[in-house]
Structure 1
Amino acid sequence: MEPAPKKHNASKLASEDIISKMPEDVIVNIMDRLPIQYAIRTSILSRKWRFKWTLLSQVVFDVFFCEYLKGLGGENWYDANNINRILFHLKGSITKFDFLIPYGKVLDVTEIDHWMILLSRKGIKEFNLLNIHVTPLTLSSYLFSCVKLEHLMLYNCSLNPTPTFCGFPYLLHLIFYDVKFVNGNFGEYISQCPLLEFVKVVYFNGDPPIGKIKMIEIAKLKKLKCLIFPLCMLDSTALTTSVVFDLVGHFSKLQELSLDLHKCKLIDLAFYVPCFSKFVRESGVGKWVRTSLSCLRTLRLLAVDFGSDIMLSFAIDMIWGSPELQKLYIIPAYNAAIQSPPPPAFCASDFNHISMGQLRLRSIAFTYFRGSKNDIWLMKNLLACSRLLKEILIYPCLSLTTYLSDDEKSMFATKLLDLHRSSSSAAERNIIWDGHSEY
C-alpha cells in the first residue's frame, strides 16, 4: 500500500498575516521613515493596518506634502481642516512636528494654537516652523508650554514670551531665521535654556530686531558647542577683539564659531584699554600673545571689511588666537558686481608670520576674493603659517568673474598660485570661476 502524500503547509503559511503581527515599535519606526502621505496609504495593506498610520510619532507637513495635497484638490486643500484631520487621529506621542506655511497662504492663528496645545500634551521634542509667507507669523504663548522641546527652528516668526516663562530646560538646538521678539528680550529668552549646545541666529530680511543680547545673558550657555551669531546684536557700545574674545572665552566647549560682522562698529585698539585682555598685539612691535580658545575647530567670518585696518586686525586676532583651528571660511564685506577694490589701509609691516606662530588649518575657503593688497597679504600669511593645510578654495568676486578676459583670469590665477607656502604644506589651491576650477 502506497503511503499517503504529505500535506503541504503552504496554505497555512499563506494565511498568516506576518505584516499585521509586527510589534508596534517596529511599525512606528517604519511609519516615521515614510512621507506622511505614504504612511497614510499603508491603510490599504490589510484590515488590521487600516489605522496603523495613527501611530506616527514624527509628523512632517513639508513642501512635498503641500504639493501632494494640491495635486489632489488644488491650492485650497493645504489648509487647517486637512491638517486637523491628520493630527487629531494620532494616538501616541508626537516627538517631531515640521510645518510649512507656503507663500501666499494665510492660516488662522487660533488653529496653530490648537496644534501647539495638542503637541505640548503629546510631549513634542522637535518643532520646526517654516513661514515662507511675506507677513511674519505671530506665535502665541502656547509654544512656551512645550517644555520638553530639544530642537526648535523658526523662520519668519514673531514671539512674545510671557512673564512666567522659565525657559526650555531640555533645549539643545536653537535655530532662528528672521525671528523677532515683541518686547526685545531675546537674550533673556536664550539664557533660560541652560543645556543649549547649538545656537544659530540669522537675519536675511533687513536689520536685526531691536533688543540686544547682554554678555551676562549669553555667557550662561556653558555647554555651547556651536554659535552662529550676528555681532551687531551684542550689547556693547563698541566692539573690540578683547570684547569678542571675552565673550567666546566663556564657552569652554565651543568647537564651531560663525560671526557676522555686518553693521558692526569696531574701535581702534590703540585707543582702547580692555578690561579683559585675552589676546593682545603690542603696539608697533608685532608680538603676539596666544589665547585659550583651544577647542575651536571651525571659524567663519562674514562681512569682513578688508578696507578697514581695524576689522582686518580683528579677523587676524580671531584666526591666530585659535591655535587648534582646522577650518576657516572668510566672506569679505565688499561683494558688489562693479566695485573697485578698497584702498589698502592695513599696515602689513606690523605683522610677521614668524612671530604669529604656526596654525593647524586643514581647509580654507575665501569667498568674493578681489585680489586687493590686503587680500593677497592675508592669503600669503595663511599659506606660510599652515603646514598642515590640505585645501584652499578661492571664489573670485563677481566683478572679476564677469569682466576679466580669459588671459586676465589666467594671470590672476598664476599670481595666487605662485604665493609662497609652508615647505611641509601639500595644500591644493583651487580657484573657482563660475563653477569651473583652476588649479
Structure 2
Amino acid sequence: MDNVLGPDLISDLPQSIIEIILTKLPIRDAVRTSILSSKWRYRWATLTHLVFDDKCVTLSHDKALVENNVAKFITRLLFLHNGPIHKFMLSTSYLQSSPDMDQWLLFLSRKDIKELVLELGEGEWFRAPSCLFACRKLTRLELVRCELDLPPTFKGFMCLKYLNLQQVLIAPDAIECLISSCPLLESLTLSYFDSLALTIHAPNLKYLCLEGEFKDICLENTPHLVAISIAMYMTDDIAEHFEQSSSCNFDKFLGGVSCLERLIGHIYFTKYLSIGNSDLGKLPITYHRLKLIELYQVSFEDMKEILVVLRLIVNSPNLQELHISGSSNSIVAAEAPDLDFWESESLSDSGFTFGKLKIAKITDMSGVPHEMEFIKFILGKSPVLEIMSVAPGVYVTDGRLNMLIELVRFRRASAKAEIIFIQD
C-alpha cells in the first residue's frame, strides 16, 4: 500500500476507524494485513476485540492437527498482542480441554477483559481455572460445556451484566452464590441443567431464560424482570417431587415480578405453576406491563392448569397478544367435569374485559369442551380483538368441521374480530 502515485487514504485513517475495519474481518485476515506495508505491520496487534472460530486456520481431516494449529495460532497472536483486550470469543468444535486455555485465561485476566465467550467442542469438558474469577472487569460471560468451581476467595463479578451458562457443571449452591455475587446482573441464561432447585437473588435482573430439568425455581429478589422464557423438562424424580410439593409455585415464581412485559412458558411450565393453586384467587400484584404471554402444552384436562392461565391473563389488564398451545388427552378431556366453572361469578362478571388484547393464537387444539369454553371466554371478553387464530393439533382428524361450526357461533365482543381456522 506504499503508493508513489497518490496518498494512502486508508492507512492515514484514525486508528479507531482502522480498528473498526479490522474488527469486521475474520481474525485470520486481520492478522494478514501485516504484510500490506510497514504502516500495517502491527495495526492488528492493538485490536481490543478478538473473535476466534474454526476458520482461523486451514482445516483438514486430521482433527488433532487442526486442534494443534488453532491453539498455536491463538497463543502466538496473544503473545504478539499489545494493549488491552476487551472481548475474547472462542467458538470451536476442535478445541476441548486444552492446557493452553489456562494460560490464555491468565493472560486475559491481566488485560482488562470485559467480554469472555468460550464455546468448546464435544468431548472432554473444559475445567475453568481459578484465574477466570480474577477477571474483575467482566461485563459479559458465556460458557458452554465446562466445569466451574467457585474459589473460596471469590467475591463476585462486580461489573457483570450478562451471564450465559450452557451445559455447565456447577454445584447448586455455587450457582446461586455466583448469581447473587453479580449485583449489576441484567441478563441470565441457564440451559441444560439437571434436577436443579434454584433460588435467584438478582435485584437488577431484567431478562431470564431457563431451560432444563428444574425441581424448583424461586424468584426471591427480581423486581425489575421484564422478560422470562422458561422450558422445564420432566423426569420421574421431578414429577414425584411436584406431586409431593405443598407450596404455591405460582407465587414463588411470579409473585414478585410486577414489571414483567413478556412471558414465554414452554413444556410443563403451567404444570409447575399449578402446584399449590386451588382457585382463581386475587393475586398480590397486577401485571400492568405484561403485553405478551405465550404458554405451550397447556393441559385443558387439568383444571389447575386452566386456572393458572386464567390467573395470569385476568391479572394482565394491558395484555396485547396471547398464544396458548394445548396438549390435552382428547379422550380424558372430553369428559369435561366442572364445565359450570365458566359460568361462575368470578368469570361472568360483566365489568371485566381484556381491554388491549388484539391478537389471540390458540394452537394444537383438540376441540374438547374446556378448550372451546376458553376460546369462547376470550372472544366474549376482548372488545378490541382483531385476530383469533385457531389451529387443531396435527393428530386431530375427526371433528374439525364441528369445531369450526362451534367457533363461528361464539359471541364476539369485538365487531372487528376475525376468526382464522388453520387446517394445516
Q: Where on the TM-score scale, by shorter chain, does this alignment land: which range?
A: 0.7 to 0.9
- Contact 2:292–2:320, Cα closer than 8 Å, also in 1: yes
Q: What does the per-residue CA deviation read over 1:163-182, in whole Å, with 9 as the maximum and x for residues that have no partner?
A: 33222222222333333323
Structure 1 partner of 2:298: 304
Query: Which shifted more, 249-258 or 28-37?
Result: 249-258
Structure 1 partner of 2:22: 31
Aligned length: 390
- Contact 2:96–2:125, Cα closer than 8 Å, also in 1: no
C-alpha distance 398-201 of structure 1, shift in aligned 2 (>3 A): farther
- How far has the Cα of 1:26 moved from its partner? 0.9
- Contact 2:255–2:284, Cα closer than 8 Å, also in 1: no
User: Quick check: 1:115 aligned with 2:104?
Assistant: yes
The counterpart of 2:340, out of the listed 323, 328, 349, is 349
- Structure 1 portions without partners, runs of 5+: 1-10, 271-279, 283-287, 434-439
- How far has the Cα of 1:81 moved from its partner? 1.9
- Contact 2:359–2:387, Cα closer than 8 Å, also in 1: yes
Distance 1:90 1:392 in 2: 58
Distance 2:276 2:52 in 1: 50
C-alpha distance 12-395 of structure 1, shift in aligned 2 (>3 A): same
Q: How does 1:1-400 map to 2 (within 5 A)?
A: 14-62=5-53, 66-67=54-55, 69-71=57-59, 75=63, 76-78=65-67, 79-102=70-93, 105=94, 107-133=96-122, 136-182=125-171, 184-203=173-192, 208-213=194-199, 218-229=219-230, 238=245, 243-245=249-251, 247-260=253-266, 261=268, 264=272, 266-267=274-275, 269-270=277-278, 281=280, 291-332=285-326, 340=330, 342-344=332-334, 345=336, 347-351=338-342, 353-355=347-349, 356-392=352-388, 394=390, 396-400=392-396
- Contact 1:195–1:221, Cα closer than 8 Å, also in 2: no
- Structure 2 portions without partners, runs of 5+: 203-217
- Contact 1:229–1:259, Cα closer than 8 Å, also in 2: yes
TM-score (ref. length: structure 2): 0.76
Distance 1:36 1:427 in 2: 52
- How far has the Cα of 1:317 moved from its partner? 0.9
C-alpha distance 343-12 of structure 1, shift in aligned 2 (>3 A): closer
- Contact 2:249–2:273, Cα closer than 8 Å, also in 1: no
Distance 2:158 2:388 in 1: 41
- How far has the Cα of 1:48 moved from its partner? 1.5
- How far has the Cα of 1:420 moved from its partner? 4.3
Coordinate RMSD, CA, aligned:
3.8
Distance 1:175 1:341 in 2: 42
Distance 1:370 1:429 in 2: 16
- Give the number of the structure whose residues are more often strand, by fraction: 2
Distance 2:219 2:316 in 1: 20
Distance 2:412 2:108 in 1: 56
- The one-letter amino acid of 2:412's match is R
Distance 1:108 1:116 in 2: 13
| Sequence identity (%) | 26
- Contact 1:109–1:139, Cα closer than 8 Å, also in 2: no
